[in-house]
Amino acid sequence: MIFDVVMPALGATGGDVTIQEWLVQPGQRVEAGTPLVVVETDKATVEVEAFRAGYVRELLAKPGDAVSIGAVVARLTDSMEALTETPVAPLPSTRSTREHESTEVKASAGKLGVSKLPAKASASNRLIPDDATEISADLLLSMFRQMVLIRRFEDHLYQLFLQGLVPGTLHQSQGQEAIAVGVCAALRRDDVIFSTHRPVAHVIAKGGSVNAIAAELWGKATGCARGKGGQMHLTDVAVGVMPTNAIVGANVPIATGAALGFRLMGTDRVAVSFFGDGAVNTGAMHEGVNLAAVKDAPVIFVCENNQYAASTHISHNLRIATIAERAKAYGIPGFTVDGMDVVAVYESARAAVARARRGEGPTLLEYTCYRYMGHSRGDPGNYRSKQEMAEWRSRDPIPKCRALLLNDFGQDERTLDEIEAECQAEVEAAVAFAMSSHEPAPEEALRNAYTTWPEVFYAQP
Ligand SMILES: Cc1ncc(C[n+]2csc(CCOP(=O)(O)OP(=O)(O)O)c2C)c(N)n1
Ligand SMILES: [Mg+2]
């Protein structure tokens, strides 16, 4: 078979990119992820990678050519024999290219069979019971399932992005799943979270629908923000995911406000603010944490220290050894915890949540972790060494959790393999749902642009 390599949307404006240099030759074998070509966007020089393994059949653009997003720039084959097959007619436009490829994706989801999905996989992702109090096999299995679901979803999106099928850009969080899952496992459904420009893991972990997230990425009316928000504005208030905010540090005072609101309402609900190591030097962070401290607000500040703020290593941003040390200046507890260990994350978050519910105030939790991918999909992450990346990947939270389930919780390989297969099917079904959903009607554009928070926020548990 012959597969088109489509130019993905790499730049900030979505304009043309210029081919600089091909890194492969016709006839050459490539793996999924092999860099194929260097291109220049309006923002940076980046490499476009192969979205699948195969052989390079032909290169359709030459160095110096300006290429539009969605254009076919090369063709791959799945076998050496197919190198000499007659090619399919070139696809005339970006639009028809996308339609052509979305049909393939739908077909592959259909092959797996949406109807064959077990009920538990197609229902809400929130499998962790509200009254969970200690690590049981069921709880650990639920956390394993959610981490796998997030990883499979983000890996699948990455492959689709490389095929030019995902509109806009992506901020991915492969490697950071244990933090989203461990923290949200310590929360009740009626607690709320505030996320960042990198929200997919948080939303899934809090129980958001993968279908609605996928549809939002594709700007469809069935999306969790009805197609108006896109990747950086995911929201699902019914499960406690408040509207996501891509302005670094901005959600910290908002989460504090929500927490103070919960106390005024006479509830023991808590709010969580997720933010990165880059956010800790913003004014909003200082104001938000200090106000929460002096008011004993029931809020948990969760810093995902993935070592980088875009391309800047944390050592260029901080003179102190840990972010948790900052807590002392606010007079609240602060801890640095291994964010690659879902059990450590869950237990630390549970303690902070219990403290907040008791009315004793906020906690700063710093989770050390690493994002395996670049800052966004236009960033190959070349400012990091291969050795550094390999060291962090060797601590991957998913195999670690799998080993714990096998060795200490009496689970067998078959059960865990089935969970992985169910998650993959759920992900592919979600993408098929997103692609086949309809676009929002034009008159939807201004609806809900200005509104009060929905009733569900004020509802008593
Ligand atoms: C106030 C503000 N400044 C700059 C940006 C551009 N920006 C988006 S993400 C990012 C890096 C954030 O790093 P970090 O907080 O560590 O989060 P991570 O991307 O590592 O998850 C920057 C600088 C922004 N969105 N908001
Ligand atoms: Mg960071």
> Mean of the pLDDT values across residues 78-100?
48
> Tokens 């105030």 appear where?
361
The ligand whose atoms approach the alpha carbon of 278 most closely is 1
The H or E element spanning position 301 is strand 299-305
Which of 70-84, 108-122, 207-221, 339-353 comes out lowest in average pLDDT? 108-122
- For a ligand 1 pocket test, name from 172, 179, 248, 314 the mutation site with the most ligand atoms within 8 angstroms of its C-beta: 248
Tokens of 103: 């049909």
User: Can you give the pLDDT at residue 265?
Assistant: 95
Q: Whose CA is nearest to atom 18 of ligand 1?
A: 276
Model confidence at 86: pLDDT above 50: yes
Q: Which of 146, 152, 104 is nearest to 125 (CA)?
A: 146
Ligand 1 lined by 310 (C-beta under 6 Å): yes
* DSSP assignments along 275-290, one per residue: EEGGGGGSHHHHHHHH
Instruction: Give the whole-angstrom CA distance, residue 81 versus residue 4.
Output: 17
Return the ligand 1 atom nearest residue 250 CA.
1
- Asked if pLDDT for residue 114 goes beyond 80, the answer is no
Q: What is the pLDDT of residues 419-452, one digit of tens each?
A: 999 999 999 999 999 999 999 998 888 787 776 6
Q: How far apart are CA 297 and CA 294, in angstroms?
A: 8
What is the residue type of 409? F
Residue 309 confidence (pLDDT): 98
Burial letters 291-322, b for 16+ CB under 10 A, else e: bbbeebbbbbbbbbbbbbbeeeebeeebeeeb
Q: Is the CB of residue 12 below 6 angstroms from any atom belonging to ligand 1?
A: no
Distance 379 CA to ligand 2 centre (A): 14
Q: How many CB atoms lie within 10 A of CB 361?
A: 20
CB 303 within 8 A of CB 276: yes
For 203-215, give the secondary structure using H, E and C.
HHHCCCCHHHHHH
Query: Which residue did the predictor score with more confidence, 135 or 139?
Result: 139
Cβ atoms of 273 and 325 within 8 Å: the answer is no
Cβ(6)–Cβ(96) below 8 Å: no
pLDDT > 90: what percent of the chain? 68
205: left (phi over 0), alpha (psi -120 to 50) or beta: alpha
How do residues 190-233 score in pLDDT, each as one tens digit?
Answer: 999 999 999 999 999 999 999 999 999 999 999 999 999 999 99
Q: How far apart are CA 95 and CA 106, in angstroms?
A: 17
User: Could you read off the pLDDT of 224-270 as tens digits, one per residue?
Assistant: 999 999 999 999 999 999 999 999 999 999 999 999 999 999 999 99
Half-sphere exposure of 249 (CA within 13 A, CB side): 14
Q: Which sign does the torsion angle of CA 242, 175, 154, 184 carry?
A: negative
Q: Does pLDDT of 456 surpass 80?
A: no
pLDDT at 32: 81
Q: How far is CA 248 from the centre of its chain?
A: 16
Q: Residue 390 Cα, ligand 2 centroid: separation in angstroms?
A: 18
Ligand 1 neighbour 137 (Cβ under 6 A): no
Whole-number Å distance, alpha carbon 240 to ligand 2 midpoint, is 24
Return the SS3 of 69. Answer: coil
Query: How far is 417 from 56, CA to CA, in rounded Å?
Result: 33
What is the predicted pLDDT for the residue at 454?
Answer: 62
Summary mean pLDDT of the chain: 86
What is the percentage of the chain residues whose pLDDT exceeds 70?
Answer: 86
Q: What is the pLDDT of residue 48?
A: 87
Backbone angles phi, psi at 375, to 5 degrees: -55, -50
CB of 202 sitting under 6 A from ligand 1: no
- Does 248 sit in the ligand 1 pocket, CB within 6 Å? yes
pLDDT of residue 26: 86
In order of their start, the domains of the chain are 2-90 (2.40.50.100), 116-456 (3.40.50.970)
Pocket lining: 428 vs ligand 1, CB cutoff 6 Å: no
Mean pLDDT over residues 91-119, rounded?
Answer: 26
Please report the pLDDT score of residue 355 as a whole number.
97
Ligand 1 in reach of 8 Cβ (< 6 A) = no
Strand partners for 335: 365
* DSSP 3-state of 366: strand
Q: Which residue minimizes the CA distance to atom 2 of ligand 1?
A: 248
- Report how far apart, in Å, the C-alpha atoms of 244 and of each of 44, 124, 274 are: 27, 20, 10
Q: Which atom of ligand 1 is nearest the CA belonging to 249?
A: 1
Tell me the catalytic residues. Answer: 371, 375, 383
Nearest residue CA, atom 4 of ligand 1? 248
For residues 234 and 223, give the distance between their C-alpha atoms in angstroms, rounded to a whole number.
9
pLDDT tens per residue across span 147-185: 999 999 999 999 999 999 999 889 999 999 999 999 999
What confidence score (pLDDT) does residue 85 get?
A: 62
Is residue 394 predicted with pLDDT exceeding 80? yes
The token pair that represents 218 in the structure block: 């594709």
pLDDT at residue 370 in the model: 98
309-367 tens-digit pLDDT: 999 999 999 999 999 999 999 999 999 999 999 999 999 999 999 999 999 999 999 99
289 CB neighbour count, 10 Å cutoff: 27
Tell the residue number behind the tokens 């008593």, with chain if given. 460
Q: 88: Cβ below 6 Å to ligand 1?
A: no
CA of 246 to the centre of ligand 2 (A): 13
> What per-residue confidence (pLDDT) applies to 453?
61
Q: How confident is the model at residue 380 (pLDDT cuts 50, 70, 90)?
A: confident
Query: Which of 14-23, 107-116, 290-299, 416-425 is predicted least confidently?
Result: 107-116
